[in-house]
Amino acid sequence: MKKLIMDNREPPILLSLLSEKFEVEIKKLPTFDYIVGGKVGVERKTFPDLVGSVVDKRIYEQARRMVESSYNPLILVEGSISSSYSIHRYIPNFKQDARKTAMGVLVDLALNFSIPIVFSENHEDTVYVLEKISRSLNSFKHHTPRINVSLSPTVRLLTLVPGIGPTTAHKIVKRCGKKVTYYTYKKLLSVNGVGKKSAGRIMKFIGELI
């Protein structure tokens, strides 16, 4: 039977459904809700979860941890985001258009963090998506993966900064380390090939993540 790791904070009903398809291991996961096939990290978010993570500003920190992890990240949005009124049951003081807020952040995550987005209608759909991920990993295990896993997570993150390619990103990581939160403008300038403008863009990018 296929194996899957499930975060211990996920709903029991999903454990029941997944146990019919997977050999499920329950543990506290620091970043994702599910690890499929030891390769794909899946973060499941309902519509209120997604909007709430925008309100408390944790979504981009989550995205940073996802791309810095050793897994290929994927966000699974469960449930409809077609109506805005229901969000006020969970976030009463939220004044923005919840649907547009959710769609906007999904565009940011897909384009600026290169995180794939998948939708499911309900728990049964979510189980199907996780099963499909597992089958795809097995079907294409002898093919070159779509995501360049030869690059470290921090290198992949740095290449999101305009003008920073993999070669320069490798140099930065070698000189400054894997934890971007410890980077300083002065230290970046000590990297061969990183000038004042590039260092400024990197620090601005990091500032937007934390």
Domain termination site, one of 108, 139, 170: 139
Claim to verify: residue 202 and residue 100 sit in the same structural domain: no
Domain termination site, one of 109, 139, 169: 139
Claim to verify: residue 183 and residue 111 sit in the same structural domain: no
Domain termination site, one of 117, 139, 161: 139
Q: Is residue 90 part of a domain?
A: yes
pLDDT for 26 equals 96
pLDDT digits (tens, 9 = 90+) for 54-94: 777 788 888 888 988 889 999 999 987 655 445 555 555 65
Q: Is residue 192 part of a domain?
A: yes
Q: Is residue 144 part of a domain?
A: no
Strand partners, 77: 45, 119
Per the structure block, which two tokens stand in for 170?
Answer: 């490798």
Claim to verify: residue 178 and residue 89 sit in the same structural domain: no
| % residues pLDDT > 70 (the chain) | 85
- Rounded to whole angstroms, the Cα distance separating 193 from 165 reads 11
Query: Between these two residues, 14 and 92, which has the higher pLDDT value?
Result: 14
| Least confident residue range of 10-19, 51-60, 122-131, 142-151 | 142-151
- Rounded to whole angstroms, the Cα distance separating 187 from 127 reads 46
Mean pLDDT, residues 119-132 taken together:
93
Which residues 6+ apart lie within 8 Å of 107 measured at CB?
none
Structural domain boundaries enclosing 127:
2-139
Claim to verify: residue 118 and residue 162 sit in the same structural domain: no
Q: Is the pLDDT of residue 127 over 90?
A: yes
Query: Between these two residues, 69 and 1, which has the higher pLDDT value?
Result: 69
Claim to verify: residue 131 and residue 176 sit in the same structural domain: no
Claim to verify: residue 112 and residue 177 sit in the same structural domain: no
Claim to verify: residue 133 and residue 157 sit in the same structural domain: no
- Residue for token pair 């597992």: 134
| Sheet of strand 117-120, all strands in order from the earlier edge strand to the far edge | 22-27, 2-7, 34-36, 40-46, 72-78, 117-120
Whether 25 and 6 have beta carbons less than 8 Å apart is answered as: yes
Claim to verify: residue 94 and residue 158 sit in the same structural domain: no
Please tell me the chain's helix, strand, coil percentages from 3-state DSSP, rounded to the nearest 5. 50, 15, 35
- Rounded to whole angstroms, the Cα distance separating 121 from 78 reads 6
What are residue 115's phi and psi, to 5 degrees?
-100, 120
Strand partners, 73: 41
With both helix axes pointing from N to C terminus, report the angle between 59-68 and 98-112 in degrees, rounded to the nearest 10: 20
Claim to verify: residue 163 and residue 189 sit in the same structural domain: yes
End-to-end CA separation in angstroms for the chain: 40
Pairing of strands 117-120, 72-78: parallel
- How many structural domains does the chain have? 2
Q: What CATH number is attached to the domain comprising 129? A: 3.40.50.10130
Strand partners, 145: none
